Amino acid sequence: MRSDGERALGGLLAASHLATMEDLPALVAEHAATMGFSGTLIYVVDLQQQTLVPLPGQRDAAGRPPERLGVDTTLPGRAFQTVSLVYAMPGPGGGRRRLWMPLLDGTERVGVLGTDVPDEDPELAEWRAAQLAALIAVLVVSKRPHSDSYSRLVRSRPMTLSAEVMWSLLPPGTFASEGVVVSAAMEPAYEVGGDAYDYAIDGDVLHVSLFDAMGHDTAAGLTASVAMAASRHDRRRGTGLPEVSEAVDAAIRAQFVGRYATGLLASLDLRTGLLRWVNRGHHPPLVIRGGRRVATLETVPVPDPPMGFGLGVSRGLLRYQLEPGDRLLFYTDGIVEARSPDGEVFGLERFADFVVRHEADGVSAPETLRRLIQAILRHQGDRLQDDATVMTVEWYGERHRLLTLP
Q: Is the pTM higher than 0.85? A: yes
Q: Over the stretch 20-44, which tens digit does the pLDDT of each residue have?
A: 999 999 999 999 999 999 999 999 9
pLDDT over 60 (residue 294): yes
Boundaries of CATH 3.60.40.10 in the chain?
Answer: 159-402
DSSP secondary structure string for all residues of 262-282? EEEEEEEETTT-EEEEEEES-
Instruction: Give the pLDDT score at 90.
Output: 64
pLDDT over 60 (residue 404): no
Phi and psi angles of residue 97, each rounded to the nearest 5 degrees, phi first:
-75, 145
Q: Which CATH architecture has domain 159-402?
A: 4-Layer Sandwich (3.60)
State the first-to-last Cα distance of the chain, in angstroms, to the nearest integer.
26
pLDDT over 80 (residue 309): yes
pLDDT over 60 (residue 93): no
Q: What is the mean pLDDT of the chain?
A: 91
Instruction: Give the pLDDT score at 121.
Output: 82
384 sits in which H/E element: none
Angle at 159 between CA 78 and CA 226, to 5 degrees: 105
Where residue 1 falls among pLDDT bands split at 50, 70, 90? Answer: very low
Lateral strand order in the sheet of 38-45: 69-70, 51-54, 38-45, 108-117, 97-105, 86-88
Strands (E), 154-246: 174-176, 180-187, 195-202, 205-213
Boundaries of CATH 3.30.450.40 in the chain?
Answer: 4-152
pLDDT over 70 (residue 405): no
pLDDT over 60 (residue 91): no
pLDDT over 80 (residue 156): yes
Rounded to whole angstroms, the Cα distance separating 406 from 403 reads 8
Cα pseudo-dihedral 89, 69, 183, 306, rounded to 10: -170
Instruction: Give the pLDDT score at 310.
Output: 93
pLDDT over 70 (residue 399): no
Q: Mapping DSSP to helix (H, G, I), strand (E, B) and coil, where does residue 301 land?
A: coil
Q: Over the stretch 366-389, which tens digit does the pLDDT of each residue have?
A: 999 999 999 998 998 877 778 899
Average pLDDT value for residue range 163-173: 93
The answer as to CATH 3.40.50.300 being correct for domain 4-152 is no
